[in-house]
């Protein structure tokens, strides 16, 4: 609109009033997209905000009546699309956009992009469970890709330290939102995969708007996760947020804390498992050795017994042989003597000539006496032996060994039936004798054992 | 690239479990049992070693990239 005339001079008010009518006449009901850089909730209920893009900024206002009706509550940093008309404030010569509605920028477009990428990767099989790597039971180190200043980092670290303090953490301080985020996350994944001290990667961030989490919905990031040699746990936002990264990752954790739990076991549990196994092993071997030991002892005992018995047997047999030999010799000797005597007696027989000389008689009698002496000597020693054998059989020698003879009216008592309770009996001992009274009788033979020993 | 240098805990635990079961099933000669036992002791030691250490180790990576914009 041209100035009326070059000579005409306008007052400030007049100028601003003209600006107002020009702008408000043309910039009505427009849509403007920009990042919210400032929001002032005024006491009156009106909301003043600033929209910006890299090169310019724009003031806007949401009147109280409109602010109360807004479904979407915008936050600083968010990309939004506002709808409204310009309003020029003449006293200040300033203008504002009077906003009637606000919605997140690119909402529709992003939703569409999300669905398209999801469908594409699904078709490629990137979400298939058979393409997922196993999470190791106990990683030596865990790579964490997240913001160095976020709560997610603190949560992950504290959970890992609590459960498995021996596990090393390698942090990649990542940019997790904004334009640079996607390529930074990809770089982080690449760097982690070059390390040999970690067995697992956690990638994620805390909660935020869809825009904040958007990097985790980008194809580059999804492909980098799929390509990772190390297994990846994705933990983006809250439980309700699901990103493409979550779907591609080998495991999705609803929150960063849970990611820490999935990543490492409780060390004490594993130590306990090991000690249980080693106990079982020890117990098993101890039992086995104990079994073998007692088996050996058993064998040893049996062998010993074997030796002992055969030893006794041999001794017993040799004694028996010796006795047999003695007996045989004795019999032989006596038989011989008998034979000699018989011959001699025959020589003395009446049919032998009576007229033998006296010398002959004396010689014979001498011989006879000599023979008698000889046989007497022999007989003496024989007698000794026989006496010894006899004495072994004598009841008196039995008494010497502690046996005694019980008699009633001089008759030997052999059975309990021979006496009545109250009878007076006498007992003959090795030395002396005693009178006794029967106070009890029974059929039991308590001497059975002893008699068995004697007979064997 | 990290698998071959260090024993993986799962394998240690798996082997140990298998070995204990074989010991418990029996039917082994004393020689075999002792050999398994020795192996088991060694595995126990390795397992415990993997769980050792309590220091909080955090390595923060340095990006040698130029683009560090937030």
Query: Model confidence over B8-17: pLDDT tens digits?
Result: 888 888 899 9
pLDDT at B68: 43
Q: What is the mean pLDDT of each run of 10 residues along chain A (456 residues)?
A: 69 94 91 91 91 93 88 81 93 94 78 88 91 91 96 95 93 93 96 94 90 91 96 91 93 94 93 91 86 85 75 76 80 80 68 52 61 62 64 64 80 84 85 85 61 43
pLDDT at A181: 94
The reply to whether residue B13 touches residue A148, judged by beta carbons under 8 angstroms, is no
Contacts for A33 with CB less than 8 Å, ≥ 6 apart: A79, A80, A81, A82, A105
pLDDT at A383: 62
Write out B1-41 in H/E/C secondary structure.
CCCCCCCCHHHHHHHHHHHHHHHHHCCCCHHHHHHHHHHHH
Residue B17 and residue A344: Cα distance in Å, rounded? 102
Q: Copy the structure tokens of residue A176.
A: 């997790």
* Distance separating the N- and C-terminal Cα atoms of chain B: 32
The reply to whether residue A277 touches residue B20, judged by beta carbons under 8 angstroms, is yes
Query: Chain A residues with CB inside 8 Å of B4's CB?
Result: none
- Among B5, B12, B47, the strongest candidate for a mutation testing the A interface, having the largest count of A CBs within 10 A, is B47
* A293, closest residue in chain B (CA to CA): B30
Per-position DSSP letters for A127-174, written without gaps between them:
T-GGGPPPPPSS-SEEEEEE-TTSHHHHHHHHHHHHH-TT-EEEEEE-
Mean predicted confidence (pLDDT) in B24-29: 82
The partner residue sitting opposite A229, judged by closest CB among B1, B41, B69, is B1
The reply to whether residue B9 touches residue A281, judged by beta carbons under 8 angstroms, is no
The reply to whether residue A270 touches residue B13, judged by beta carbons under 8 angstroms, is yes
Residue A158 and residue A406: Cα distance in Å, rounded? 99
The reply to whether residue B59 touches residue A169, judged by beta carbons under 8 angstroms, is yes
Query: Chain B residues with CB inside 8 Å of A166's CB?
Result: 50-54
The reply to whether residue B19 touches residue A281, judged by beta carbons under 8 angstroms, is yes
pLDDT at A450: 44
Query: Chain A residues with CB inside 8 Å of B24's CB?
Result: 280, 284
The reply to whether residue B57 touches residue A136, judged by beta carbons under 8 angstroms, is no
| Contact pairs from chain A to chain B, CB under 8 Å | 111
Query: Chain A residues with CB inside 8 Å of B7's CB?
Result: none
Q: Residue A104 region, left (φ>0) first, then alpha (ψ -120 to 50), else beta?
A: beta
- Among A274, A279, A294, A295, the strongest candidate for a mutation testing the B interface, having the largest count of B CBs within 10 A, is A274
Residue A228 and residue A222: Cα distance in Å, rounded? 10
Mean predicted confidence (pLDDT) in B33-54: 85
Q: Copy the structure tokens of residue A93.
A: 């010569």
* B13, closest residue in chain A (CA to CA): A274
Q: Which long-range contacts (CB under 8 A, 24 or more apart) does A432-439 make?
A: A436/A406
Contacts for A228 with CB less than 8 Å, ≥ 6 apart: A189, A192, A193, A201
B49 touches chain A (CB under 8 A): no
* B45, closest residue in chain A (CA to CA): A274
pLDDT at A63: 93
B6 touches chain A (CB under 8 A): yes
The distance of A199 to chain B (nearest Cα, Å) reads: 7
A13 class by beta-carbon count within 10 Å (0-12 exposed, 13-18 middle, 19+ buried): exposed
């Amino acid at each position: 609109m041209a100035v009326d005339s070059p000579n005409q001079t306008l007052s400030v008010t007049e100028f601003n009033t003209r600006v107002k009518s020009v702008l408000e006449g043309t910039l009505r009901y427009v849509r403007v997209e920009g990042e919210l850089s400032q929001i002032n909730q005024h006491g009156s209920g009106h909301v003043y905000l600033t929209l910006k893009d890299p090169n310019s900024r724009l003031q806007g206002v949401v009147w109280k009546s409109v602010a109360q009706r807004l479904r979407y509550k915008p936050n600083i940093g968010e990309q939004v699309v506002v709808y409204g008309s310009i309003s020029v404030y003449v006293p200040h010569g300033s203008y504002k956009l009077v906003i009637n509605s606000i919605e997140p920028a690119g909402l529709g477009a992003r939703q569409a992009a999300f669905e398209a990428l999801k469908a594409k990767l699904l078709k490629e099989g990137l979400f298939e469970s058979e393409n997922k790597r196993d999470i190791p039971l106990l990683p030596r180190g865990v790579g964490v890709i997240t913001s160095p200043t976020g709560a997610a980092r603190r949560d992950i670290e504290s959970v890992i330290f609590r459960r498995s303090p021996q596990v090393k953490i390698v942090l990649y301080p990542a940019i997790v939102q904004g334009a640079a985020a996607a390529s930074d996350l990809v770089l982080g994944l690449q760097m982690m995969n070059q390390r040999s001290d970690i067995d697992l990667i956690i990638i994620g961030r805390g909660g935020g708007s869809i825009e904040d989490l958007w990097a985790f919905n980008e194809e580059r990031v999804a492909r980098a996760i799929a390509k990772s040699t190390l297994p990846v746990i994705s933990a983006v936002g809250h439980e309700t947020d699901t990103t493409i990264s979550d779907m591609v990752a080998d495991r999705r954790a609803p929150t960063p804390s849970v990611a820490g739990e999935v990543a490492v076991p409780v060390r004490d549990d594993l130590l306990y498992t090991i000690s249980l196994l080693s106990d079982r092993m020890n117990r098993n071997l101890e039992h086995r050795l104990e079994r073998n030991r007692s088996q050996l002892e058993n064998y040893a005992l049996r062998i010993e017994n074997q030796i002992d018995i055969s030893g006794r047997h041999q001794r017993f047999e040799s004694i028996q042989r010796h006795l047999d030999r003695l007996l045989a010799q004795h019999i032989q000797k006596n038989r011989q003597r008998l034979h000699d005597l018989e011959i001699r007696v025959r020589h003395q027989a009446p049919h032998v000539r009576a007229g033998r000389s006296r010398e002959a008689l004396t010689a014979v009698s001498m011989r006879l006496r000599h023979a008698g002496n000889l046989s007497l000597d022999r007989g003496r020693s024989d007698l000794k032996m026989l006496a010894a054998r006899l004495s072994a059989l004598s009841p008196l020698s039995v008494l010497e060994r502690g046996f005694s003879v019980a008699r009633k009216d001089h008759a030997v008592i052999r059975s309990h039936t021979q006496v009545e309770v109250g009878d007076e009996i006498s007992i003959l001992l090795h030395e002396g004798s005693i009178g006794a009274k029967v106070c009890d009788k029974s059929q039991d033979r308590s001497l059975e054992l002893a008699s068995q020993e004697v007979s064997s | 690239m990290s698998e071959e240098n260090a024993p993986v805990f799962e394998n240690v635990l798996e082997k140990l479990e298998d070995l204990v079961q074989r010991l418990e099933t029996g039917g082994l000669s004393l020689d075999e049992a002792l050999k398994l036992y020795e192996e088991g002791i060694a595995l126990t030691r390795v397992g415990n070693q993997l769980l050792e250490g309590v220091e909080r180790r955090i390595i923060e990576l340095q990006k040698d990239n130029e683009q560090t914009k937030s």
